């Protein structure tokens, strides 16, 4: 049986900032993850904070966001080219350059990946949002650094070479997970009755019916012998959805999505597991 490596010895910081990302979980709650499993499946990849923290063997990483998966693939296949493009963005970064890049569509995979990372690092709060035409429309933020001291692209590329990357709906990927696989799922937080603007935004891309569909395929995976670890909103509708089949634990985290730090505070989320 393969196991996850010693966490502190193998930690890599995510290269993307992602709304709803799980850096806080990787920093404070990795003890809540199982220490032994035969494979790893993450169907809502985002910034991949848990994947980079525990560096599991036999990983399948997927997301419905095609640009996101292409970015990971480009770093895996040619990280040096991506880094060169990022260096050019660093040299020319300003308001005009940001909006020029935001409206562009580079022809090469590495240039598109660098565009994705550049916009992520310099847009408002690292938010990924598109309009009805699928065009990225987040305004420029206050960050100016494009290349970071924490970048570990070569190490990241080597790690990704042993993974499977896929653009896929979560159900397809989870249904393929075999017994002994750790399925870590971090879906957009949609609840049955919307409470705030961010949840309402998520409802456009992840409906309540998707929450039910996710629960059903996680129950199937659990019945096949998969280890399930799910993060979700701490809301009565989510609790009712999972309480009969899984164990629920309330975790506290800091919010990082707000125009002012004064408006950020402590929030609670559910950790839903079967182990």
**pLDDT tens per residue across span 22-66:** 999 998 898 899 989 999 999 999 999 999 999 998 999 999 999
Question: Do 179 and 259 belong together in one domain?
Answer: yes
- Read off the CATH number of the domain in which 115 is found: 1.10.1020.10
Q: Give the pLDDT mean for 227-251.
A: 96
Q: What is the pLDDT of residue 192?
A: 77
Question: Do 146 and 173 belong together in one domain?
Answer: no
Beta bridge partners, 223, equal none
| 165, two tokens | 């990357």
Q: Assess contact for 238 and 201: CB atoms under 8 A.
A: no
| 116, two tokens | 């994705």
Question: Do 23 and 86 belong together in one domain?
Answer: no
Quick check: is 2 in a domain? Answer: no
Greatest distance between any 2 Cα atoms in the chain:
55
The residue with greater pLDDT, 203 or 46, is 46
Q: What is the pLDDT of residue 257?
A: 47
Ranges of H-type helices in 29-160: 49-54, 66-92, 95-102, 109-122, 153-160
Range scoring the smallest mean pLDDT among 120-124, 193-197, 239-243: 193-197
Question: Do 55 and 147 belong together in one domain?
Answer: no
pLDDT band with cut points at 50, 70 and 90 for residue 9: very low
pLDDT band with cut points at 50, 70 and 90 for residue 265: low
Question: Do 141 and 57 belong together in one domain?
Answer: no
The residue with greater pLDDT, 196 or 7, is 196
Quick check: is 36 in a domain? Answer: yes
Quick check: is 160 in a domain? Answer: no
Residue 218: domain span: 7-64+168-273
Question: In the chain, pLDDT over 90 holds for what percent of residues?
Answer: 74
pTM, two decimal places: 0.88
Q: What is the pLDDT of residue 260?
A: 46
Q: What is the pLDDT of residue 133?
A: 85
Question: Do 206 and 258 belong together in one domain?
Answer: yes
Position of tokens 């159900």? 171
pLDDT band with cut points at 50, 70 and 90 for residue 5: very low
Question: Do 42 and 172 belong together in one domain?
Answer: yes
pLDDT band with cut points at 50, 70 and 90 for residue 6: very low
What are 109-146's pLDDT values in tens digits? 999 999 999 999 999 988 898 888 889 999 999 999 99
């Amino acid at each position: 049986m393969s196991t996850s490596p010693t966490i502190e010895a193998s930690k890599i910081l995510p290269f993307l900032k992602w709304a709803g990302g799980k850096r806080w979980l990787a920093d404070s709650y990795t003890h809540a993850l199982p220490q032994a499993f035969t494979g790893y499946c993450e169907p809502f990849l985002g910034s991949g904070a848990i994947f980079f923290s525990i560096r599991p063997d036999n990983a399948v990483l997927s997301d419905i966001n095609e640009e996101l998966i292409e970015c990971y693939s480009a770093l895996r296949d040619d990280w040096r080219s991506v880094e060169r493009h990022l260096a050019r963005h660093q040299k020319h970064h300003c308001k005009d350059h940001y909006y020029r890049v935001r409206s562009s569509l580079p022809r090469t995979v590495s240039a598109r990946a660098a565009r994705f990372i550049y916009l992520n690092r310099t847009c408002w709060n690292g938010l990924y949002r598109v309009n009805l035409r699928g065009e990225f429309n987040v305004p420029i933020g206050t960050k100016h650094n494009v290349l970071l001291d924490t970048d570990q692209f070569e190490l990241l590329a080597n790690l990704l070479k042993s993974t499977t990357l896929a653009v896929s709906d979560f159900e397809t990927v989870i249904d393929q997970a075999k017994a002994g696989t750790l399925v870590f799922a971090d879906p957009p937080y949609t609840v049955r009755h919307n409470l705030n603007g961010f949840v309402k935004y998520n409802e456009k891309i992840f409906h309540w019916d998707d929450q039910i569909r996710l629960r059903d395929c996680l129950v199937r995976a659990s019945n096949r012998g998969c280890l399930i670890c799910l993060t979700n909103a701490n809301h009565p509708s989510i609790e009712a959805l999972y309480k009969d089949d899984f164990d629920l634990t309330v975790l506290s985290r800091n919010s990082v999505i707000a125009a002012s730090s004064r408006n950020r505070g402590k929030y609670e989320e559910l950790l839903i597991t079967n182990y």
